[in-house]
Amino acid sequence: MALAFMNSAGVYQMAGYTVPTWYGYAGWGMLDYFVEQPGRFTLAEAFFANQQALVHRLATCFPGLETADAAKPVPAGRELSAAAKAAGLTWQDARGLLYDRDTLAFYGDPAWEARMSPVPLAWEQSLAQTGNEYRFEIRPLRGERSFAPLNTNGSQRGGRPIVHLLPHRVDARSVRILEGSDLAPLVTDNFLLVPNPGQCDRKRTYRVIFREAVR
């Protein structure tokens, strides 16, 4: 179907499950990044961001399963982690996340830019660099509901981490968090991820400052 669409129906990019979908985190999450944050991400970037969000959820709530084989049974006899309990997740969610991790495919040239027309967003995010120091700031624009889901029509909607693609690669192993460690940021070689704060505190500053070791 994907090849037929791109061959004769004017489709340049698409994403879809290679098997029947049931959990939905991978598919619906693309909407949360692409449609609910219009103009911020291309379709390919939204796919990438949501896949990282999915793996982060696995690693945080079900440590060790982020690299597990989805075809093998989930060891549901173990005690759930505190993070999983806090998020209201069960071992069924672990199965769903593993299933979605491996079954959503992106078709087309990822460098081709498909982007929604920009409109006012729920928050602004910016990254500034001075030497080897980076300053990432999130500015809520909708008060206490800035980080709340815009649409819950669909499976596993809302609550996605805030993702910012870095302008160039960094040595993530050398990164040191100088400010904002309470936001539990994750800095990788090519993106920064901050878990969704949920309820917005208008009195606080949402900022992460990190430094990369001089090469």
Per-domain boundaries in the chain: 2-108, 123-211
- pLDDT at 127 exceeding the cut of 90: yes
Question: How far, in Å, are 31, 87, 145, 150, 203 from residue 153 at the CA level?
Answer: 11, 19, 17, 9, 31
Question: 180's torsion region: left (phi>0), alpha (psi -120 to 50) or beta?
Answer: left
In this prediction the pTM is 0.94
Report CA torsion sign: 158, 164, 169, 174: negative
Identify the H or E element spanning 189.
none
DSSP sequence for 33-86? HHTSSTTTSBHHHHHHHHHHHHHHHHHHHSTTGGGS-TTSPP-TTSPPPHHHHH
The tens digit of pLDDT for each residue in 165-196 reads 999 999 999 999 999 999 999 999 999 999 99
SS3 129: strand
- 203: burial class by Cβ within 10 Å (0-12, 13-18, 19+)? exposed
Of 214, 210, 206, 174, nearest to 192 by C-alpha is 210
In the predicted structure, residue 1 carries a pLDDT above the cut 70: yes
Q: What is the mean pLDDT of residues 75-94?
A: 92
